[in-house]
Homo-oligomer: A and B are copies of this chain.
Amino acid sequence: MMHSGPAPVQCGPKLVHGERRARPISSADLLSSLPTSITKRFTRDTEVFGQGGSADYLYEVRTGAVRSYTLLEDGRRQIGSFFFPGDVFGIEAGITHQFSTDAIVDSSVALLKWPAGPMAAHDLQFVYKLQIITAEQLRHAQEHSVLLGCMNARERMATFLLDMGRRYGLAGDLIELIMSRQDIADYLGLTIETVSRRLSEMAESETIELTSTRWVRLRNLRTLMELTQ
């Protein structure tokens, strides 16, 4: 199930109804349209907000990239999402943050202070947009559960590469992996070694090309998509 499938020429997990799964977490210009937002800069590896901190703000990436994650006491880390320019994050059900976030590279982030008190957001348009974004993030989390619950390492890597290409792609088939191997591993529920091995394997089979450690060229989209679709 997890370590799945008929190894040779497997056709990859496909959704019934033949639907696409991953897609960008769009922002719907939530914060940029509001005058009350301010912009802050965060250097590489510094915290934007921490687990348990009070959720007083909404955030939107302007430049750079951010990761959100949960830390377990013994050091295990699960990265829930990567956020790129335009992505909104920091939405919470309660008054405190359930996870931590920090900048992957030097980044600038727009902050919007929540309207004070519950229901003070008398702007229907705002709440409506917020609802859309939250629902999109929910969908992303559910898709990620499918990846973590059903897919093997090969399929996870292929899914990740295609997703990154869609959200952070450059020059068509050349994509930048702005995050470290450890980040990728913690996002995909794998170890850094397994991530490295699967990438090397894909390069070996000429499915991708490892231009440098942080740049990947997608050479055979079809093969990749057969592993994810």
Contacts and interface: CB of A to CB of B under 8 A. Distances in A.
Interface in A100-127: 119, 121-122, 124-125, 127
A2 interface: yes
Interface stretch (A34-42, A72-80, A162-170, A211-219): A72-80
Interface stretch (A12-20, A59-67, A173-181, A202-210): A12-20
A150 interface: yes
A57 interface: no
Contact of A138 (B76, B93, B149, B150): B93
Interface residues of A, number: 59
Nearest to A118: B128
A143 B91 CA distance: 15
Q: How many copies of this chain? A: 2
A119 to B, nearest CB: 6
A218 to B, nearest CB: 22
A189 B150 contact: yes
Contact of A2 (B125, B150, B190): B190
Given A72-B150, A98-B142, 17 more contacts: A1-B190, A2-B190, A15-B72, A16-B73, A72-B146, A80-B145, A93-B135, A93-B138, A94-B139, A98-B139, A98-B143, A122-B124, A127-B128, A127-B131, A131-B134, A145-B148, A150-B189
A141 B78 CA distance: 12
A121 B91 CA distance: 21
Interface of A: 1-2, 4-5, 11, 13-17, 19, 51-52, 70-74, 76-78, 80, 91-94, 98-99, 119, 121-122, 124-125, 127-128, 130-132, 134-139, 141-146, 148-150, 185-186, 188-191
Contacts of A119: 124-125, 128
A119 B131 CA distance: 11
Contact of A135 (B128, B134, B143, B190): B134
Contacts of A136: 93
Contacts of A145: 78, 80, 141, 144-145, 148
Contacts of A128: 119, 121, 127
B149 A73 contact: no
